[in-house]
Amino acid sequence: MFGRRADATPVRNLSMLRRFMPFVSPRRNESLVYFETEIEVEPALRFAEEQNQRRPPERKMTLFHLYLRSIAISLHTRPGLNRFTAGGRLWQRDGVWITFSAKQAIVDGAKTMTVKRRFEENESLDETVDAVLDSLRGRRRGVETRADKEMNLALYMPPFVIRIGVLLLRAADSLGLLPKKMIDDDPLFTSVFVANLGSLGMEAGYHHVWEYGTCPMFAMMGRIKERHDGVRVMSCRYTYDERIEDGLYAGISLAAVKEGLENPTKLL
């Protein structure tokens, strides 16, 4: 409270402009910058196929796993991207957290699963893949998180009570009053939210970020397609809260994600 949070530490030695930005632009969605990168996916697909020769058939490594891995490495090596604004201050997040969503089935009306996970800097690629697979398996089996249970309970209340509750939560977050357990379980308190539209055969879009929580960036993977020169590529699009770092820093960091997938041995 008043300069402290359970999930972050304040960023020091900021320029006057960077310190003032949360007051000039208090909302995330009025501070967004948009990026798009085109990734040549052949190296990553070949790499995953090679790795899968030694993995069990039911636990295959995919392009999605490699993408999550590459983003996690970039967030660890470029920590300026792993920040957020709250209460008019800029904070350095403790740990790299990635939230990702997936459909339970590719049909209209199918439920969307949301998984949030901490990606440790020293974990191996196999540990990353296995943990993601286990998380998705648990969600497909109907395992509920604490956040799920809290939302289900809240939905029994009248709408005006829910609105007041959300306002109180946002105020508590601004003051640094939310407990760490609540923050760790909430999918919107995350370094980046990732959606794989390519798995649905769709192009990537530009997604908003939420005013609730501390997520400063949304990443979307698009479908794999053949470029005019015959090379298979994937477009990835990002919406990014520029209050945490300037666009140049973000652009270099996201270029590192592309580099990781085009040279996947770096992900080991």
pLDDT in tens, 48-67: 999 999 999 999 999 999 99
Q: Could you tell me the pLDDT band of residue 125, with boundaries at 50, 70 and 90?
A: very high
pTM, 2 dp? 0.93
> Cα(196)–Cα(30) distance, rounded to whole angstroms?
25
Position 16: which residue type? M
Q: Which of 58, 60, 101, 61 is nearest to 200 (CA)?
A: 101
Q: Which of 217, 181, 188 is nearest to 6 (CA)?
A: 181
Q: What pLDDT, on the 0 to 100 scale, is given for residue 104?
A: 59
Q: What is the mean pLDDT of residues 214-234?
A: 97
> Cα(207)–Cα(216) distance, rounded to whole angstroms?
12
CA distances from 246 to 31, 154, 239, 243, 266 (A): 11, 38, 13, 7, 26
> Cα(267)–Cα(247) distance, rounded to whole angstroms?
25
Q: What pLDDT, on the 0 to 100 scale, is given for residue 200?
A: 87
Q: What pLDDT, on the 0 to 100 scale, is given for residue 156?
A: 87
Q: Could you tell me the pLDDT band of residue 183, with boundaries at 50, 70 and 90?
A: very high
- Judged by DSSP in three states, 243 sits in coil
- Note whether 198 and 223 are within 8 A (CB): yes
Domains and CATH numbers, the chain: 8-21+29-232+241-267 (3.30.559.10)
Total residue length of the chain:
268
